[in-house]
């Protein structure tokens, strides 16, 4: 595997379900990000981890819970979601959180909440 991978690529879940999205980066980076992109809307930064520590949480509802066990893996735990949470969820990584580093994105998970 190379770059940034995400699983699953597609997910359909009911509002009462619990599921998790997984992201893995094979670039030796130390910062990882979760973004949400709704249809025809810009990227929304959700969470940032730098060296496994959460450094940003952009007012994300508690039904989204991130976990970063090490610098290569990032999870997004989902529970009691709403239909408006349906979107493309993108994971990205960079060398560090510092602004000068470019981010590389995974292919995304297309989430549909029914």
Partner 1 sequence: QKEVEQNSGPLSVPEGAIASLNCTYSDRGSQSFFWYRQYSGKSPELIMFIYSNGDKEDGRFTAQLNKASQYVSLLIRDSQPSDSATYLCAVGVTGTALIFGKGTTLSVSS
User: What are the residues binding partner 1 (CB under 8 A)?
Assistant: 31, 33, 41-43, 45, 48, 56, 88, 90, 94, 97-108, 110
In angstroms, give the least distance from the CB of 16 to partner 1. Answer: 28
First to last CA, the chain: 32
Residue with smaller CB distance to partner 1, 25 or 94: 94
Cβ atoms < 10 Å from Cβ of 5: 15
Least CB distance to partner 1 at residue 64 (A): 17
Q: Provide the minimum distance between the beta carbon of 108 and partner 1 in the complex, in angstroms, as a whole number.
A: 5
CA 18 to chain centre: 16
Which helix (H) or strand (E) element contains residue 54?
strand 53-57
| For partner 1, the closer CB: 14 or 56 | 56
Specify the DSSP class assigned to residue 52. T
């Amino acid at each position: 595997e190379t770059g940034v991978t995400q699983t699953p690529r597609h997910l359909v879940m009911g509002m009462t379900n619990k599921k998790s999205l997984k992201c893995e980066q094979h670039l030796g980076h130390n910062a990882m990000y979760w973004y949400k992109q709704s249809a025809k809307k810009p990227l929304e930064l959700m969470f940032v981890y730098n060296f496994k520590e959460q450094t940003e949480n952009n007012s994300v509802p508690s039904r989204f819970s991130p976990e970063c066990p090490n610098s290569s893996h990032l999870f997004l735990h989902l529970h009691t979601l709403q239909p408006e949470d349906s979107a493309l969820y993108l994971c990205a990584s960079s060398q560090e959180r510092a602004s000068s580093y470019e981010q590389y994105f995974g292919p995304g998970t297309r989430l549909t909440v029914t």
